[in-house]
Amino acid sequence: MTYTFPGRWIGAGTMILGPLLLLAGTLLRWPFHFFFPQQLVAVAEHPALMTAAHTAVLAGTVLLAPAVIGLANAIGRTRPVLAAWGASLVLVGLFERTFHAGIDQAAHGLVHHQGAPLATALVGASYQDLHLFSFLSFTIMLGWPVLAFAAYRSGALGPARAFALATTCLLPLGVLKGTEITSVIAIVGLCAAFIPTGIRQALNGPRPTRKSVLLTLATAPLLGALAYTSTFG
């Protein structure tokens, strides 16, 4: 049997969990204005809520990468060129969103240690600074429609789910962005496209063997210990 990453279970799990985490984080930020000065004030006044929102969005963004690769594998069976272009554009866009999340994290830390006014001044002064991803922002918006078109043309997604996937391009991009109505539309579209697909993928095949389940359960505590140890580095 030929294996292609991420495989059935990782692909299905990330298709389900990634959009749900993004939706949770997006809704948690709903009460606050989307631009960075108000976002930083919210971090100062509601640190636990904003930390949860930021963490959920970041985790969901990272989990989308294997989900997209899994979809690209399905597309590539009949439309390899479209699969390569769509997945490549979306993955670069996801890398950029992760880069933005790192800047967000640094700004949040500055709020906690130095206060919102200083953090706002520093972010405002450096907001237009050029970096590698300044030239690749188009991938965030272009990638999802290309991937959706590829999924439709290949038959991996039907027209309704392909259109829903394409609406993901409406998600605002940039540093310290909050939630707008387009954010909710984009993530709901992503959920409508990926979650049913992930559920179908999980159910379409044999159940996991007892050995694989036991191995997963035995590995989980080790991964937890490694995750805790990583915080010391």
179-233 pLDDT tens trace: 999 999 999 999 999 999 999 999 998 888 888 888 888 888 999 999 989 998 7
What's the confidence (pLDDT) of residue 166? 98
Higher-pLDDT residue of 184, 2? 184
- Residue 16 CA to chain centroid, in angstroms? 12
Q: Between 47-76 and 80-114, two packed helices, what is the crossing angle to 10 degrees?
A: 170
Q: Once rounded to an integer, what is the mean pLDDT over residues 87-96?
A: 98
Total residues belonging to the chain: 233
What's the confidence (pLDDT) of residue 213? 85
Q: Once rounded to an integer, what is the mean pLDDT over residues 171-185?
A: 95
Tell me the pLDDT tens digit for each residue of 68-80: 999 999 999 999 9
What's the confidence (pLDDT) of residue 1? 62
For 97, the enclosing helix (H) or strand (E) is helix 80-114
Q: Once rounded to an integer, what is the mean pLDDT over residues 32-37?
A: 94
What's the confidence (pLDDT) of residue 3? 86
54 close to 104: Cβ distance less than 8 angstroms: yes
First to last CA, the chain: 39
Question: Closest by alpha carbon to 134, among 175, 169, 180?
Answer: 175
pLDDT of residue 91 exceeding 80, the answer is: yes
- pLDDT classification of 121: cutoffs 50, 70, 90: very high
pLDDT of residue 126 exceeding 80, the answer is: yes
pLDDT of residue 153 exceeding 90, the answer is: yes
What's the confidence (pLDDT) of residue 205? 80
What's the confidence (pLDDT) of residue 208? 82
Question: Closest by alpha carbon to 65, among 22, 26, 106, 108?
Answer: 22
Q: Between 159-166 and 138-154, two packed helices, what is the crossing angle to 10 degrees?
A: 170
What's the confidence (pLDDT) of residue 150? 98
Q: Which of 20-24, 155-159, 162-166, 171-175 is least confident?
A: 171-175
